[in-house]
Amino acid sequence: MRTQLYIDGQWVDGSGTLEVIDPSDGSVIANVATSSDEQNLAALAAADRVAADWAKVAPRVRGEILRKAFEIMTAEAESIAELISRENGKAMPDARGEVAYAAEFFRWFSEEAVRTTGDFRLSPSGDKRILVTHQPIGVSLLITPWNFPAGMATRKIGPAVAAGCTMILKPAGETPLTALAIVDILERAGLPKGVLNVILPAQTGPAISKLLHDSRLKNLSFTGSTAVGKILLREAADQVIRCSMELGGNAPFVVLDDANIEEAVKGLMLAKMRNGGAACTAANRIYVARSIGDKFIAEFAKAMAAMKMGVGREAGITLGASVSMKERNKIAELVEGAKARGAKVHTGATTPEGEGAFYPATVIEVPASDEILVNEVFGPVAPIVLFDTDEEALKMANDTEYGLISYVYSEDLKRAIRFAEGIEAGMVGINRGMLSDPAAPFGGVKQSGLGREGGFDGIHEFLQTKYIGVEI
């Protein structure tokens, strides 16, 4: 298990340490090194020093490094999944799914490294040739969250390596061990010294601010809350650093009156309970046509009640712990508030006694005005609202500052597409409860972010377009 910082191709001790806690029982897993201001700047200096040489490395070579990393990660999937489960709390089925998802970004971008196209053509005026090419943007700061410590790291590292950028990775303090394991994999895959550096500042805000005000940094890729994203955007503005922002979500899940109830329940279980509900893509506002409401709620509550909660690494567990007691208590407070306002409880909604950051799979029925619907609940809580018309459902679905992902279920494809086209979101799942795919663009609109990760678009977050006019 790696616990040191990784700077300029060396594993080094930090200026202090941070306890990594197993949220299922509160035990200390490891003490991970934290970085000083000097070490943060050393990481930046290392990335800057090798940036020009790394940018010149052939795309095929960069792609082969990523392919090797994919192979190593796949071979060691079970041990990485166990590490994720220990520091994050999630159940092993979710952890295994995350490892497979994360590894796929290495494979996808190993293929995309050699497929960055340009343009060469005669200008309309006929006086020159227009040459358009794409070049690495330069040193990039990657900031990743705790809920998908592997997936969010590879989703950024993969395209950065493929594009020819050097990097500084700042993982979440709750889940640094997974990020360090991935860096170890890349080192073994042959990634040159200085290309990827890992820091874990003792004081995150001031440290990141200092990096963002350094002219050597050219690019920021952040996944996290909208509130923090806005702060980073303001900080990045001084140096006009390009920013990719994957921010909050508060996804609506709309079940129209002609939906296949069995399939919609299956889809909602994926959309809501993947990762124990701790996902920006999680369905947090469930809108169900009133005519099928009773039947749908009964079937969904039955499925939720069947979730087996416990320590994520134990056999048969499908719902693990939240990442911390702090996060668990946030979930509990939101549910207790809804209950106090008259929410109807269909299952769950009771905070367990004893150790561990656990909260049960919960289904509550609330009015459209309830304030729990305004919050991005990062846990296994499903608030349901009944509606009468498609127009009413669409209005409620769009009544949010977020616009990351939405879901709609209907047996009428034309109706579903019309509904999807009216939803203000960067991604829409039609009769699907899981949408994320390394081969597809991931990102939102409104206050859910800027830019796209994955797909053909992801590599371009680490490339800048250059136009060259050629005299003829």
- Summarised one tens digit per residue, pLDDT across range 176-230 is 999 999 999 999 999 999 999 999 999 999 999 999 999 999 999 999 999 999 9
**CATH number attached to the domain at 5-247+448-471:** 3.40.605.10
The predicted pLDDT at position 9 comes to 98
Q: Is the pLDDT of residue 427 over 90?
A: yes
- Mean pLDDT across 312-329: 97
User: What pLDDT does residue 10 have?
Assistant: 98
pLDDT tens per residue across span 119-134: 999 999 999 999 999 9
pLDDT at 288 over 90: yes
Q: What is the pLDDT of residue 397?
A: 98
Q: pLDDT of 334-384, one tens digit each?
A: 999 999 999 999 999 999 999 999 999 999 999 999 999 999 999 999 999
Q: CA-to-CA distance for 218 and 40, rounded, in angstroms? A: 16
Residue 324 exposed, middle or buried by CB count within 10 Å (0-12, 13-18, 19+): middle
* Strand ranges for 332-462 from DSSP E: 344-347, 362-365, 381-387, 402-403, 405-409, 427-430, 445-446, 449-450
Top CATH class, 251-437 = alpha beta
The amino acid at residue 304 is: M
Is the CB of residue 33 less than 8 Å from the CB of residue 20?
no
**Distance of alpha carbon 213 from alpha carbon 215, whole angstroms:** 6
Question: What is the token pair recorded at 89?
Answer: 């709390």
pLDDT-derived band at 16 (thresholds 50, 70, 90) equals: very high
Give percent of the chain above pLDDT 90: 99
Q: Which amino acid is at 190?
A: G
At 113, which helix (H) or strand (E)?
A: none
Whether the CB-CB separation of 147 and 279 falls below 8 Å is answered with yes
pLDDT of residue 125: 95
Over the stretch 304-319, which tens digit does the pLDDT of each residue have?
999 999 999 999 999 9
Average pLDDT, integer, range 460-465: 98
- Domain chopping of the chain, boundaries: 5-247+448-471, 251-437
Enumerate the active-site residues.
246, 280
Q: What is the pLDDT of residues 103-157, one digit of tens each?
A: 999 999 999 999 999 999 999 999 999 999 999 999 999 999 999 999 999 999 9
277: left (phi over 0), alpha (psi -120 to 50) or beta: left
- Among 265, 266, 259, which residue's Cα sits nearest to residue 387? 259
Q: How far apart are CA 373 and CA 366, in angstroms?
A: 9
What single letter denotes the amino acid at residue 115? R
- The tokens 């490339």 sit on which residue? 463
What is the rounded average pLDDT of the residues 417-439? 97
Stretch 280-297: mean pLDDT, rounded?
98
Residue 455 has pLDDT above 90, yes or no: yes
What confidence score (pLDDT) does residue 472 get? 86
Find where tokens 């980073």 sit.
232
Q: What is the mean pLDDT of residues 426-440?
A: 97
